Structure 1
């Protein structure tokens, strides 16, 4: 698919293709379309795909910056308020693509707005700014479009991590079993409940640590699959792993740092509350209430501001520091929308996961009494809950990232080109 540089003149044959990086203008040369010269050190437009390798899962790249508004890299608003590439006098004139529609062009629509043709939808979402329903529908559509990766691969990683965690927890409990038996003999039945619960508690703690290492990897796998499904491409397990493999440690490191911040904030809140009650009961109540409000506000702000860092890390292929800065900037000015959608998604998936896991919890409470049976059912419940939660939330977060970039950077243009290129090669 080519894009005219000026009215009636086709684009040169070296237009960047899906998976390739086209020729870039030298520093100081005029930008395509007659714009301002390319400033030295300006970033180049990102490409959706690995350079020179069609068929490999790629990254969403950085938005181009050279040129004047309406040229490559700079979006101009069209009649529907969406970013659109093109200059006035080309695509973008009144009555043409991207510009205000003259009276009589197309049938009228409700509220007096001009007729808007349906957006291109090569994959799970239409390539335009998304609504809440489209984000949720796209998250489910990503599962339907590639269940082998979204469910099979993620469930395998979570299951292995859960089983390993439970096994290590049982091993640690077995090591301390003689000490627990001696303690029960000395203190009698007063500590029997405690000694019975310690193996389960130890297994849960170890499983939590192992899952903390595995879930960031699962998140990267899911984000990669969703990114490919947006352009109508069904990535294989090997392609997904090839893109995620180099990001494993950055993803784990990011998860560790964010959890550390949450734990430190929680520790400070609990510590200050205890000190307040030690000094005076009234002061303790004040610190308890005000501290909780401050703790909740801080965590909500911090989690939302860092929510789009994993998609930037995986889909753009950036380094750790660049991805952190990039994800932080993407949420600037979009906090409340990101907060509302992500909170609603978390509440919905939590309710679904609770309903799915409830039968296993009931079995461990009323029917199963031996330790091995409780551990087995707990592991199954943990796997199901983690898969349901991770798959849906990763889809929502990925689509929030793509939505922000379509609204601000005209990513829909790049995605449309990638989808057309994939369609051409797929039908060839």
Structure 2
């Protein structure tokens, strides 16, 4: 155990030789063989201590009789002072702060008699400054959205509206190819026609996904700044968030693009042997080999993406380069892969469920107002995506993005902060940045 102020046991001398935060007389020690302070009364030779029985119960399971001990015998310690029966005076950052351990060598020893456990950590913003649980990370992301809703929803709404307008225009003017959908739904179409239609559909999906990704990157960059300030209990406007994030946005694009290239390259490399076998004439064997290789490569890609999942906040908050932020993410995730994966998966599922509750009704309403109705929409008999369908469904997508952007970005940033608290005692720097006086000397670090 580190013998530093805030971690030393009450009654033992800290590293600087003084009791941290002591404002009154020192507590007498209860360790065997320890010397009493000079201002305590000595043994009374006239007391009744000589009449005590020679056989006594084990120490710590009996109450000392009143009176003084016999000569040469150490008297029992006096009752605990006011710092042991309740909250110490001055709060977590005042004299006798909450950071010390109890007399039994653990958190429960000094505090369990009064209120059952260690005092709460300092919480200047949306999270306490200590290692976080899963619920606290999710709650911190939601609390950021709720407390600073003007900034968070303003950023999310602006980015989602601009992104969706571009997507609607592309789908309505460029990508709305009726022949492609008819070919894919035609069971008598030739293989070449199906291949051409499938390629066109994938190109359209890729363009839409790229536009959506650009919006997500911009929103994540700005919301990272908002969440990091919310941890300190400080607000930030959308303009301030953009000015802080703008120098790193191009690097963030480069990071996201590099991660996509890595993931796609790994999956393509896993399926390539099966594709080559299929092209050589063994279609069934090649297909099976491609599926197995793709699954294995997908697992490897997922493993790498989780290891790099904290690179985005590292790049934005530490002002790092692309490769340096990736190495920082690997260092922070090392030994916690399953925890980081589980929290991010849970956050993604929750965000998508909430977004689907909004998007699905708008999609059904849009289908009802389209020319073929809901039945034609579900049967795939639609003659194309009309403007009515695109606009109504786009409104639902905007509302859904206003939920998914803050949750996913907030959870990623808080995971990054949590890992740095656990590994690098970032809570000390955060406490000083939040203006908590004496946090590093009277409250133990959460690392």
Q: Do they superpose with TM above 0.5?
A: yes
Cα deviation code 1:323-376 (max 9, x no counterpart): 222222111222121111111211222222222211122234444236111221
Matches of 2:362 and 2:199, distance apart in 1 = 20
| Cα drift, residue 268 of structure 1 | 3.0
Partner of 1:33: none
Could you tell me how far 1:127 is from its partner in structure 2?
0.8
Matched, 1:396 2:403: no
Alignment match, 2:38: none
| 8 Å CA contact 2:272, 2:290 repeated in 1 | no
Structure 2 CA distance for aligned equivalents of residues 135 and 289 of structure 1: 36
1:394 to partner: Cα distance: 0.7
CA distance in 2, matches of 1:215, 1:250: 14
CA contact (8 A) 1:154 1:221 kept: no
- Cα distance in 1, alignment partners of residues 329 and 310 from structure 2: 5
The answer to whether the 8 Å contact 1:167/1:203 transfers is: no
Alignment of 1:359-398 (within 5 A): 359-369=361-371, 371-398=386-413
| CA distance in 1 between partners of 2:239 and 2:19 (Å) | 40
CA distance in 1, matches of 2:285, 2:175: 41
1:125 partner SS: coil
Matched residue of 1:106: which SS? Answer: helix
Partner secondary structure for residue 111 of structure 2: coil
**Cα pair distance change 1:407/1:202, threshold 3 Å:** closer
Cα separation, 2, equivalents of 1:316 and 1:91: 37
The 1-side partners of 2:360 and 2:16 are apart by 60
Pairing 1:106–2:107 present: no
1:255-277 superposed Cα distances (whole Å, 9 cap, x missing partner): 11111222223333443333445
C-alpha deviation, 1:200, in angstroms: 8.9
Give the distance between the partners of 1:79 and 1:162, measured in 2 at CA.
Answer: 57
TM-score by length of structure 1 reads 0.67
After superposition, give the CA deviation of every residue in 1:356-415 in whole Å (9 maximum; x if it has no partner).
211122234444236111221332233233332221111111110110111111111111
Q: Give the total of aligned pairs.
A: 336
Distance 1:363 1:271, change over 3 A: farther
Please identify, of 289-298 and 97-106, the stretch whose mean Cα deviation from structure 2 is larger. 97-106
Give the distance between the partners of 2:237 and 2:265, measured in 1 at CA.
40
Equivalent position to 2:154, from 139, 152, 155: 152
1:284-323 deviations in whole A, cap 9, x for unaligned? 4652553244123212211111111111111122233332
Summarize the Cα distance change of 1:167–1:196 in structure 2 as closer, same or farther, 3 Å threshold: farther
The offset of 1:282, in angstroms, is 6.3
Between stretches 365-374 and 240-249, larger displacement belongs to 365-374
Residue 273 (structure 1) aligns with: 274
What SS does the aligned partner of 2:135 have? helix
User: Which of 411, 415, 422 in structure 1 is aligned with 2:430?
Assistant: 415
Separation in 2, partners of 1:365, 1:197? 23
User: What is the CA distance between 1:198 and its match in structure 2?
Assistant: 11
Q: Is the 8 A contact 1:169 1:199 kept in 2?
A: no
- Give the C-alpha shift of residue 151 in structure 1: 1.4
Q: For residue 236 of structure 2, what is the aligned residue in structure 1?
A: 235
- Equivalent residues in 2 for 1:318-329 (5 A)? 318-329=320-331
269-278 or 341-350: which moved more?
Answer: 269-278
Distance in 2 of aligned mates of 1:221 and 1:302: 25
- Provide the rounded CA distance (Å) in 1 between the counterparts of 2:399 and 2:270: 32
Larger CA deviation: 277-286 vs 264-273: 277-286
Alignment of 1:75-86 (within 5 A): 78=7
| C-alpha spacing 1:90/1:259, structure 2 compared with 1 (3 Å) | farther
Distance 1:328 1:90 in 2: 41
**TM-score with structure 2 length normalisation?**
0.64
- Give the root-mean-square deviation of aligned CA atoms: 4.1
Instruction: Measure how far apart 1:152 and its partner are.
Output: 1.3
Q: Which has the larger radius of gyration?
A: 2
Segments of structure 2 that go 5 or more residues without pairing to the other structure are: 22-28, 30-95, 372-384, 438-447
1:84-114 Cα distance to aligned partner (Å, 9 max, x none)? xx9575688999865542149733279xx98
1:337 aligns with 2:339: yes
- The 5-angstrom pairing of residues 259-270 of structure 1 reads 259-270=260-271
Q: Structure 1 residues 289, 208: CA separation in 2 closer, same or farther (over 3 Å shift)?
A: closer
Aligned-residue offset at 1:122: 1.2
Which structure 1 segments of 5+ residues have no match?
A: 1-68, 81-85, 423-428
1:77 Cα deviation (Å)?
9.9
